[in-house]
Structure formats: structure tokens, C-alpha cells
Structure 1
Amino acid sequence: MIKLHDLEFEPYISEEEITQVIDRISDEVNRDFGDKTPVFIGVLNGSFMFASEVVKRFQGDCEISFVKLGSYKGTESTGEVKTLLGLNQDLKDRTVVLLEDIVDTGNTLVELDQILKQSGVKEYKVVSLFFKPEAYKKSVPVDYIGMEIPNKFIVGYGLDYDGLGRNLTQVYKRKE
């Protein structure tokens, strides 16, 4: 059990399970993009650990960039996505692999879908370490899913609660 700010969290997904999921997703990405030179785009702050692991396992040439958007306050989505740090790279006619730590409401994905389409990408695919199907009500496809999880609040492995918990090597869920 750990405590972050005013909430308690219990162990949920081990570091070993996360590594196995990343190995599987990375194999799929290598299979599908190994003959291209994709631009990996990590969605900050949460995806920094996941993005690093996927890019380290990529066997071809690639580039990496990051975008920072935000929609959470505490444990709840505000429903509004704010672009905090945009892309500073020309993506016209490029293949993009979007790396997300978690997809829940999909609000961030809708915003990124618009940004990527406006930038003229040739194609893009969404890769998410965690996916909450109960919470997802949008139409943007999530092409690679590491693990489907219930609609519970989690921290660790890049995910936080008001800034804390990102450095944890395993994932914890909010104690009920």
C-alpha cells in the first residue's frame, strides 16, 4: 500500500507484467513499421517511460518527438483538453506512431487526431499501454492496446495523481 497526497493506492500491475506487455506491443510495432522511418510521438507527461521503452525496442530508423496536452485535475478528467506544448516538427507525408500511456475518455486522442490531420501526416497509428474500454466513447481507433483495464484510477509507470507517482515502476489502483 502507498499513499499519495490524501489517497491510498494498492498494487495492481507488476513491473514484470508491464515489461511483457511492452515487449508484445514493440514486436507488433516492429512488424508493422520496421520498413518505414516513423516519427514516434509521446504524449507527455504520462507516456515518458512507455515511449522510452518502445523506442529502445524499435529495430529500424526512427525519430521521436513529444507533445504535451492536459485534461486531468486530481483524479477526474476536466473534459477539456488544453494544448500545453505543441509539435515543433514538420509531419507532412510522414508515418506517425502516437504513444499514449493510457486512453480513457479519448478527449486527448480527438485533439491529437485533429492536430495530426491538420499537419498532413501520411498515416498515423495509436499505441496505448493501458486502455479503459468502459470510459472510451470516441471514434478515433486505438490500433495497439497493451492491456485493457477497468475504469479505475491508477498511478505509476508514468501515470500520476496530482504530480506524484510517475516514478513508480509498477502500477497501483486507488484503494476503494
Structure 2
Amino acid sequence: MALRQELARVLFPGERIAERVRQLGAEITRDYRGRPPVVVGVLKGAAAFTVDLGRAIDLPITMDWVAVSTYGRGSTTGEPRLLKDIDEDLTGRDVLLVEDILDTGTTLAWLMARCREHAPASVHCCVLLRKPHAVTKPVVPRYVGFDISQHWVAGYGIDYAERHRNLRDIHEVRLPAAVSAPSS
């Protein structure tokens, strides 16, 4: 399938994403006034969102990164595997995890629990996209960009088979009829 043929309709144009990121940044600025959080982006999918969100937060935040995988060869294993840990000391600090998509919640629940092991003052999360009907773990994000249904998406840092991260818009992915999409 040709690369552009993988993409169906635009779900969220870049301008709409930018506006929502500005709104989230204003909410986070208000909620964390006087106690800037450590903003921890989850690589790779949330990189663009984390950087843009960081720019929209009017506080002297600290940024860090974590990388986790639940994918094996072409499917999910369901078990998170740490690829890169947080470098910042989280003890006594407010932590805001930033993730691209909240699907089942397995990865985000695991990451939040891992952060709590470091005795932070608080741990909350901000997700760009949430699939509310897919969440099976007790994860309630403090900040949500957009709710989506069960379709696959790509663009604005989110990939489909490691492609399309560079697109400004978020597109629905058109899956080949013979492909069964794994859940994350």
C-alpha cells in the first residue's frame, strides 16, 4: 500500500491541535502556579506534543523523557518494557506524564506506578488522544486533548509502522482488509 494511501480523513488539523495545546498549557499553568512540574514526555509518539505543550506552559518547568515499549514483532506483548528511564530526581516534586494516546491504559498505569516509587509530591498525566471505550486500567488523565473512537491514527508525532510522525495533522489510518490491528 502506498504511504499516502494508508491515510484516510484528517481527524484533527494542525491548527486545531495547536489551539488545543495552547488551552492545555493555560490549564496546566493555572493548576501548577507556584510549583512547576517535571514534565515527562513518553517517547517516541508524544515527543512533538510534549515539546509544544512545554512551550505553552508559562512556568519554569523541567522536562525529561522516558521510553517504553509494549510492542514485539508486529503486535503488542501487553507487558511494558523500559527502554529509557527518567533522569530527573522526582522526590518531592510534581510530575506530569505526557503521552500521545491513552488506549487500554496499561502503559500509562505502569509508568505512573513507576514514578510513584520515586516519592514525588504528585503524579498526573496529560494525553493528547484518549480512546475512552478502550481504557481497562484505572487511569484517569488530568488533561485530555481529544477523545477518539477505536480507529488507528498517525501524524503529529504518532506513527503507523514508524511512518507519518512528521505530519502536522492527525489522520485516521486506513488498514488493509487482511490486517487485524493490535491494541496498545
Q: State the alpha-carbon separation in 1 of the partners of residues 170 and 156 from structure 2.
A: 6
TM-score of the aligned structures, taking structure 2 as reference length: 0.88
Write the distance in 1 (CA, Å) between the matches of 2:82 and 2:138. Answer: 20
Structure 2 unaligned regions, length at least 5: 176-184
The residue aligned with 2:44 is: 45
Q: Do the aligned partners of 1:69 and 1:82 also contact (CA within 8 Å) in 2?
A: yes
Residue in structure 1 matched with residue 84 of structure 2 by the alignment: 85
Partner residue in 2 for 1:9 = 7
| C-alpha distance in structure 2 between counterparts of 1:23 and 1:77, whole Å | 32
Q: Which amino acid aligns with 2:22?
A: D
Q: CA deviation at 1:60?
A: 1.4
Distance 1:73 1:17, change over 3 A: farther
Read off the aligned partner of 2:6 and give its amino acid letter. Answer: E
Alpha-carbon distance in 1 for matches of 2:149, 2:92: 36
**What is the CA deviation profile of residues 126-173 of structure 1, one whole-angstrom value per residue up to 9, with x for unaligned ones?**
101110011111102211111000011000001001211111110111
How many correspondences in the alignment?
Answer: 174
Query: Which protein is richer in strand relative to its size?
Result: 1
The answer on whether the counterparts of 2:153 and 2:172 sit within 8 Å (CA) in structure 1 is: yes
2:55 maps to 1:36: no
Q: Amino acid of the residue matched to residue 30 of structure 2?
A: R
Kept in 1: contact 2:155–2:169 (CA 8 A): yes
Match for residue 144 of structure 1? 143
Distance 1:74 1:165 in 2: 19
Match of residue 163 from structure 2? 164
Alpha carbons of 1:74 and 1:31: their partners in 2 closer, same or farther (altered >3 Å)?
A: farther
Return the offset for 1:114: 1.6
Equivalent position of 2:103 in the other structure: 104
Instruction: Say which is worse superposed, 67-76 or 102-111, in terms of deviation.
Output: 67-76
| SS in structure 1 of the partner of residue 97 of structure 2 | strand
Cα distance in 2, alignment partners of residues 74 and 147 from structure 1: 29
SS at structure 1 position matched to 2:6: strand
% identical aligned pairs: 29
- Residue 121 of structure 2 aligns with which residue? 122
Unaligned 5+ segments in structure 1 are none
In the alignment, is the contact (CA less than 8 A) between 1:13 and 1:170 conserved in 2?
A: yes
